[in-house]
A and B are shown apart, each in its own frame.
Chain A
Amino acid sequence: QSVLAQPPSASGTPGQRVTVSCSGGASNIGSNSVNWYHQLPGTAPKLLIYDDHRRPSGVPDRFSGSKSGTSASLAISGLQSEDEADYYCAAWDDNLDGVVFGGGTKLTVL
């Protein structure tokens, strides 16, 4: 059972907007930045969003992050077939003195 809770699956059709939620607590999301990663099948994860809402260079602005209280969200607009991947949230946890990941959300593009 992961410290950060994510829905195991999500889906959308091309062009649609989908969101992936990440729920935590006061010791992690409530007091530290949230980062998001996506992992295409058979490849290493890649940073998508850092510091709650910032995009590394090269990440399309179709991807956006937000946070409110102890929950965070990743939004993907203009869904494309190549967005089909696993998505993970992560944050530092002050109680555990370590990084905690969400269990991952498998996004399917229908």
Chain B
Amino acid sequence: EVQLVESGGGLVQPGGSLRLSCSASGFNVRGNFMSWIRQAPGKGLEWVSLLNSGGSTFYATSVKGRFIISKDNSKNTLYLQMNSLRVEDTALYYCARDDAFDIWGQGTMVTVSS
């Protein structure tokens, strides 16, 4: 079964760091575009970052310079390193496959608060 499972969310203070993981099963992250998308409580979807099959990375303006997307093909896992976190980064973070986001995980909650 094709599946994505996110983990690593939690409560962190402003200015802190967190690393999210997205474990894939049923397909290889190696040959796929992979993305992170977030949803603040009660709000709409916001794309965060994309890693294409060639290794190029793309970021939303709101996270550029603070977040880093990467993957470990041997572990079939996508990551999002989040640094200098702000209150406005509080959201449910989803990972998704392909540039059409055809498969989504269930999300992991990140709360940035003092």
Chain A residues packing against B (C-beta within 8 Å): 2, 33, 35, 37, 39, 44-47, 50-51, 56, 86, 88, 90, 92, 96-104
Contact = CB atoms under 8 A, between A and B. Distances in A.
Contacts of B102: 47, 50, 56
Given A44-B104, A99-B47, 9 more contacts: A33-B100, A44-B94, A46-B104, A56-B102, A90-B47, A90-B101, A97-B58, A98-B47, A101-B45
B44 A2 contact: yes
A33 B99 CA distance: 10
- The range of chain B's interface size is 20 to 34
Nearest to A33: B100
Contacts of A51: 100
- The secondary-structure label for the interface of chain A is strand
A101 B44 contact: yes
Interface of B: 35, 37, 44-47, 50, 58-61, 94, 99-102, 104-107
Contacts of B58: 97-98
A22 to B, nearest CB: 13
